[in-house]
Amino acid sequence: MLVIRTIFLYLDRTYVMQTPHIASIWDMGLNLVRDNLVQRRSLETKLIDALLELVELERKGEAINRSYLYNLLRMLLSLHLYHADFETPFLMASERFYLHEGAATVESASVPQFLVHVEKRLHEENERVNNYLDSSTKKQLISVVESKLLKPHVATLLERGFETLMEEGRIEDLKRMYALFARVDAINDLKAAFSNYIQKNVSKLVMDDQQEKTFVEKVLKLKADLDAVLSDSFQANTDFSFAMKSAMENAINVRANRPAELVAKFVDSKLRTGNKGGSEAEVESLLDRVMVIFRYIQGKDVFEAFYKKDLAKRLLVGKSASFDLEKLMLSKLKTECGSSFTNKVSFRHLSNAFSFANADNYFVLIARGHVQGYRSFAKRDDPVPAARC
């Protein structure tokens, strides 16, 4: 066609341009080729089948002549046969291919391997469009990969691999899962799996009497791991953040008031030891993280009772490690719960309790108000001095 058009170029530019009802040499040639293909359906069918076979061979890893494909498909585009005669059977063949491949791969590959495979196939099909398919095919082709290769196996992938990915901290694999599931509207399925994982693991810690001594440390470790997944894998999705908060609250409170007591005891141990083995800033950071767990606890009145009792004991026997840390903790509780929580445990009480000269009087107040009755600091105009313990 190009040779013929070149030979008759002068005719095209003179006579044909001056005679509107006569087609150009190029258009006339295209019409003749199209008419012959349409009239000889078997020839067109063989051509389409050959093109589809080449694409399938490439999908299976064989090398093909892409320029050959490109030229033939450009020809079909020029003949206005691409969309009706090639694209439709091509998309149908792609659906069959990826349905079969998905079913086979999900049985043979691990969850991370399957996700990488899906990602690889999406990239390949995108390159296929860039190399020889028409750009108008891209959206439908990518949709075929998503709907046939990935979407039917969402539930299986979550059931078989999500918990393992979470336990092993596979940030990149979880990130890949989130990105791929977002493409097939399966984010809610992933969020539900995330929530179930949290409830299962936190409930296990809450109900295990053997782990009471390490309960808070393990919850803090789990929370830190969940925060990392949320920010690094799930794009800090607010729906996932709310799901995590709800799951943590439900799980921590399955055992009535025991978690509140354990958190109070943990705070007591840290305020007794202070910054031993670490800086005061590290202790403050730890208390900040404990306050996050505190927010999940429903039995805050139980926490209050144990906290004030332990505070009294620390001051009574001089076991508090730092006035600044005690003051900091009171400040955090006041911010979280309001002034009613700390209105009878003021910074003045702490300051005087840490003062050797006035300690005896305040030890009496503490002892009468907390050690015996777990009540607020007693108020006396003339407290009776008591010997130190």
189 assigned to some structural domain:
no
How many C-beta atoms lie closer than 10 Å to residue 178's C-beta? 20
What b-and-e string marks burial along 242-261, b requiring 16 or more CB atoms within 10 Å of the CB? Answer: ebbeebbeebbbebebbbbb
pLDDT at position 374, please? 38
Question: Exposed, middle or buried by CB within 10 Å (0-12, 13-18, 19+), for 34?
Answer: middle
pLDDT at position 26, please? 60
Q: Residue 239 corresponds to which tokens in the numbers above? A: 């729906």
115 assigned to some structural domain:
yes
23 assigned to some structural domain:
yes
State the total domains in the chain: 1
- Range(s) of the domain holding residue 138: 2-157
pLDDT at position 141, please? 98
**228 Cβ contact list (under 8 Å, min separation 6):** 169, 171
Considering just the CA atoms, what is the radius of gyration of the chain in Å?
36
pLDDT per residue, tens digit, the chain (389 aa), is 556 656 656 566 665 666 676 666 666 566 656 666 666 667 778 889 999 999 999 999 999 999 989 988 998 888 888 998 899 999 999 999 999 999 999 999 999 999 999 999 999 999 999 999 999 999 999 999 999 999 999 999 999 999 999 999 999 999 999 999 999 999 999 999 999 999 999 999 999 888 888 999 999 999 999 999 999 999 999 999 999 999 999 999 998 788 999 999 999 998 888 767 667 788 888 999 999 999 999 888 898 889 888 888 888 877 777 778 888 888 888 888 877 766 655 545 555 555 543 444 444 444 445 444 334 433 434 444 433 33
228 assigned to some structural domain:
no
**204 Cβ contact list (under 8 Å, min separation 6):** none
- For residue 80, report the phi and psi dihedrals to the nearest 5 degrees: 60, 35
| Residue 5, amino acid | R
62 assigned to some structural domain:
yes
**10 Cβ contact list (under 8 Å, min separation 6):** none
295 assigned to some structural domain:
no
Are 231 and 238 contacting, i.e. CB atoms less than 8 angstroms apart? Answer: no
pLDDT at position 196, please? 98
Residue with tokens 């620390």: 314
114 assigned to some structural domain:
yes
Question: Residue 11 belongs to a domain with what CATH number?
Answer: 1.20.1310.10
29 assigned to some structural domain:
yes
Find the farthest-apart pair of alpha carbons in the chain and give their distance in angstroms, rounded. Answer: 123
